[in-house]
Amino acid sequence: MVVIEAEGLVKRFGRVEALKGVSFRAGGRVVAIVGPNGCGKTTLLSIMVGVRRPSEGRLLLNGVEPYVRREEVLKTVSFAFEKPRFNIGSRVEDVFSVASELCSDYGELKALASELGLDPLRGRRLYELSSGEAQLVALTLALGCDKSATAVLDEPLAHLDVGRQSALARYISVRGEVVFTTHVFEEAEALADDVVILNSGRVKWVGSVDDMFRDGLYEVLVRRSRLGELAEGVGGCGGEILADFGTYVVVRGVDEGVLEPLLRRGVLIGFRRAGLRVRVYGG
């Protein structure tokens, strides 16, 4: 069980405020932080694993303030960030050789590496790996070395082909003890127990997949030239746009009676209610 508690969390980079008073509590076997690019997801994760300190407020991961108790975090948390770069000449095989001495269950690590298709890469040097291949190595180490550790993963399904995405998603769902970010709302919905939606450095919504249904969350495909009409139609009925993901937006507090007229007028291309989907990855 992963539990994340944030209280008035602010992170500034010079004059830029990446996190703006973020407060939430989320928990479950898998927790997803979802939002469009640039919303503050990676900054939040970097605080969660103790790499950065907040400018204001605090964050607890499983009751521990990670940037204060870094030594403890290193023993109980593993992490992998998006697009890792390994500018060294060691081979993938060398990495797994070192891991065999450090991992609590090397057999588990080998099995995951094989499932994710890393066996043909063992003779490659790390600097020769593509961004997707390097990401697979980092994810395998973060997830497979110690299944009791909380794995904190930044966009783990990005840059992977469909087969590896599916294999990794199944593993995350079965393993649990995972926090991950994504800009794909359906990934969060399919895998997570609790979901945190970030937008422009602020928390817009927190809850479970069941809460998505109760709160009237919809994924809406909108014609970009008519986004203003969607905002007006939703806002006029007491709803709101939670986040804009480019090809679609997530709205809250509406129903089909609001969206269907917009569809008939050509404002929308389609919509889907969140919280109805059967979990496609099992677990």
Lowest mean pLDDT among 54-68, 99-113, 181-195: 99-113
Report how far residue 212's alpha carbon sits from residue 218's, in angstroms, rounded to the nearest whole number: 8
Contact indicator for 230, 268 with CB cutoff of 8 Å: yes
Q: Domains of the chain: which residue ranges?
A: 2-208, 215-273
pLDDT value at 278 more than 60: no
The CATH label, of 1.25.10.10, 3.90.550.10, 3.30.1540.20, 3.40.50.300, for the domain at 2-208 is: 3.40.50.300
Cα angle vertex 169, ends 241, 34, to 5°? 20
Domains 2-208 and 215-273 share a fold: no
Query: What is the residue-averaged pLDDT of the chain?
Result: 90
Kindly report the CATH number that applies to the domain delimited by 215-273: 3.30.70
Report how far residue 92's alpha carbon sits from residue 116's, in angstroms, rounded to the nearest whole number: 14
Residues 96-112 pLDDT 10s: 888 888 887 788 888 99
Contact indicator for 133, 156 with CB cutoff of 8 Å: no
Mean pLDDT of 129-151: 88
Dihedral, 192, 195, 196, 199 alpha carbons, nearest 10: 90
pLDDT value at 217 more than 90: yes
pLDDT value at 280 more than 50: no
Contact indicator for 124, 91 with CB cutoff of 8 Å: yes
pLDDT value at 83 more than 60: yes
Residue whose C-alpha is closest to residue 253's, from 243, 264, 241: 241
